[in-house]
Structure formats: C-alpha cells, structure tokens
Amino acid sequence: MVRRLHSGGSRRAEGLFEVRHGRGLARWLARALRMPRAGEGIRTVLTVTSEAYGERWDRRFGADGFVTEQRPGEDGRLHEGFGRLELRLDLWVAGGALRFEPAGAAFRVGRHAVPVPRLIAPRVGGRVSAEGERARVEVEVRAPLLGLVIGYSGSVAPAEAFP
C-alpha cells in the first residue's frame, strides 16, 4: 500500500482518522492555519498526484483539508512545502515502518530558501507502516514553546477497497 501511493499518476486512499489539537495558543494556531478540526472517526481521503517536481498531497479530513507539495531535496532530504513554508525531513526505515523526523525549515521566496532558525522552526515527525492492504499513519506537528499544534493518526486503504 505504501509503495502504491508513490507509483506515479494519481492515487487515492481512504480511511478513518483521529485528529488532535494542542492547547491554548497551539490550538489557536491550528485553526488560524486552517488545519482540520479535532475529532475521532473522521472519514479521510488522501490523494497523491505525481507532478514534475515531486508529488502533491491533498488530505481531506471530513470537510477540512490541506495540501502540501513533496519533493526530493538537493540535500538528500524530503522537502515538504505548505504555502511558503518548506519543511526538511529525514527519512529512514526502522522496524518495518517509514519514519520521518524534522531536519530544518525554510521560507520559500521564489527559487530561494531562507532558513528558519531551529529554535523557532516547526517540527513534524511521524511514521507510516503497512498493515496488509492498509497503511497506518501517525503524524505530529509541534511548534517551539507551544508544543503540539496538530496530530493525526489512522489508516488508509486504496479507495476502491474502502467500504
């Protein structure tokens, strides 16, 4: 399932997810960035589309959603863009799961990237593992001093296999 999502063209997967928000200012930040609302058993649709630069990831959690663009960076890391913010992620396989951890961030201004100091850079981490024909996903986005902004977890299956 995990490899199938990266096999070219446009692929769609569906499942049920739990979405969590942090507290206080972190919760406010999640809503200001139009992140999905918190809840359990949220029907989720993921559409991954191959593009010339990499992949476009469209995540829909119920009526809410967000889109990011992922591409391989010149530094050997995965670069994931959300608007002008670009996160750099280290990837590796451990215990049968694809894991990712923060490795920096930058603001994109045209073709230029202005690094965000690690002290204030957001941190995204998580893992994806295969569960038969499903992919189990766990992601957390944290902000320095604020803690958890948003986290989501659940599993997806190819759209044609979802009941």
pLDDT tens profile 13-23: 999 999 999 99
> Residue 162 has what pLDDT?
45
**Structural domains of the chain in order of their starting residue, each with its CATH number:** 2-161 (2.40.128)
Q: Please enumerate in sequence order all residues whose Cβ is within 8 A of that of 64, keeping only pairs 6 or more positions apart, or say none.
A: 34, 35, 36, 37
> Residue 6 has what pLDDT?
53
Q: What is the pTM of this model?
A: 0.88
> Residue 126 has what pLDDT?
96
pLDDT tens profile 69-126: 999 999 999 999 999 999 999 999 999 999 999 999 999 998 899 999 999 999 999 9
